[in-house]
Amino acid sequence: MIHAYQEIYLNKAQSVMGDAFDYAINTCGISGNDFVKLLMTSTISRRMENGEPAVIVGKSGIEIVREITFETMGKEITNEPDEHFARSKEYWIGWAVAYYQWYSSRRYCEIFKVISFEELQQMYYMLHEADISKFVDIANVRIKEYFKDTNLKRLRVAYGCTQAELAQKSGVSLRSIQMYEQRNKDINKASVYTVYRISKLLGCTMEDLIEK
């Protein structure tokens, strides 16, 4: 499975995002929903998704929050972080979502569109002591229920071509395209050349066509 970025940055990304949620909500008094909106609006979100070392390794969770609030609201935050002797619920939310973003390669805006901050708060009580795979399983089910179309169909429709046109222009058989979109064939197991031809025509990356 293709992940969002190299695994060597994962633990750091999780701790940074956990600290960011904890600091923003518990120290700065920003509501969870508001911080999620600020995160998704900021450029930090995309840089985290891409595993940019300058953000993940080069900044702390506190610095992330300060950059997000200044970028999105023009507001400078100088609150001193509170001292904690245990991980907070908010820390777990950022930590778990950062893991799933890396695992699935989905954007944060997609994840939070499907699983709200309130739902994540409720999940904390039954999952914070469980293996992270439990959270992944739940998130996968929710994501698949919400995004019913395959990535191929979604991108083809956005591009504005029919299945037949895609088949003709890409050189991939119409039957194969139909079966990929209906999930009767797994595009993740298609040849690299097949995925490349489709992605080149649709103007997307090969990874964009992979089903998470």
Structural domains of the chain, count:
2
Per residue in 124-145, pLDDT tens? 999 999 999 999 999 999 988 8
For residue 84, tell me if it sits in a domain. yes
**1 occurs within a structural domain:** no
Is residue 37 domain-resident? Answer: yes
Q: What angle do CA 14, 18, 24 make, to 5 degrees?
A: 145
CATH number, domain at 181? 1.10.260.40
Q: Minimal CA–CA distance to 2: which of 105, 139, 101?
A: 105
152-185 confidence digits (pLDDT tens)? 998 999 899 999 999 999 999 999 999 999 888 8
Place of tokens 């200044």: 70
pTM: 0.77
Kindly state whether residues 24 and 11 are assigned to the same domain: yes
Whether residue 162 is found in the same domain as residue 117: no
- Is 184 in the same domain as 197? yes
Res 1: pLDDT = 60
Range of the domain at 171: 151-209
Domain co-membership, 125 together with 200: no
Domain boundary among 95, 116, 146: 146
For residue 129, is it within any domain? yes
Residues with pLDDT less than 70, the chain: 1-2
Question: Is 139 in the same domain as 188?
Answer: no
Statement to judge: residues 42 and 108 lie in one domain: yes
Shared domain check, 174 and 113 = no
Check if the beta carbon of residue 176 is closer than 8 Å to that of residue 185: yes
Quote the distance between the C-alpha of residue 4 and its chain's center: 8
Q: Are residues 12 and 94 in the same domain?
A: yes
How far is Cα 23 from Cα 95, in angstroms, rounded to an integer?
13
pLDDT score of 212: 74
